[in-house]
Amino acid sequence: MLVATACRRDDDTDPMRPSGAVEALPQPLAADGAVTGMPENPGPGDVPLGGEPPAPPPLFAADERFGMPLLEDNPETGLGMTETTADLPEPTPADAVALLRQYYDALGARDFAKAYGMWSDGGRASGLTPEQFAATFSQVTAVDAQPGEPRPVQAAAGSRVVEVPLLLRTTHGDGSVRTQAGRIVLRRAMVEGASAEQRAWRIASADLRDAAE
């Protein structure tokens, strides 16, 4: 970098300045900065003071069904909740087994709306609409569900899951009996600010196969 120098004048009698000393001239301010050192666009973003501020970003990503997902789709957010996690009791694996019993009791009582609501994501985790769900179990006249010992609770992103073995016998309108065995996986939210409803166990998936008596 070139450095400009000042020549010593004959009348420069400063005794503190050595002969032939070189002093750097002040450097110019950067071309893209303002003289005050403040940004040239002090408004929000790149909008000048006289301009309009940009629109705020949406709270949620767009959803092809309704424009934004339901809170149940994102239990990790905990939006709109006033209770904190510390204020709520911790659900246990025994609570998960109790929910399964309530679920099959509701099916046996033909309370399909209640049973559907025990699935995660407002029932959508069942893979069926409420109407399809009711039609699937409409011919069931009796339900005998025998949950086994729940497996250890596992951590997942913003949630906890537990697997419960199950033996299921259903009696149908024609008198036939179907025996199935497998496992049910239940999930609950585990984040600060989640509501009691979000933190409760819900059925996430079921893997039941026909089994011999």
pLDDT of residue 193: 79
Number of H helices, E strands in the chain: 4, 5
pLDDT of residue 107: 97
Cα–Cα dist 26/59, whole Å: 49
- CB burial of 171-202 (b: ≥16 within 10 Å; e: otherwise) equals beeeeeeeebbebbbbbbbbbebbbeebbbbb
Q: What is the pLDDT of residues 4-18, one digit of tens each?
A: 444 444 444 554 555
Mean pLDDT (whole number) for 193-200: 85
Q: Is-contact 21 29, C-beta < 8 A?
A: no
Dihedral, CA atoms, 123, 102, 154, 194, nearest 10 degrees?
60
Bigger pLDDT: 64 vs 101: 101
Domains, the chain, with CATH or none: 82-210 (3.10.450.50)
Average pLDDT, the chain: 74
Q: Is the per-residue pLDDT at 136 higher than 90?
A: yes
What is the share, in percent, of the chain residues with pLDDT greater than 90? 49
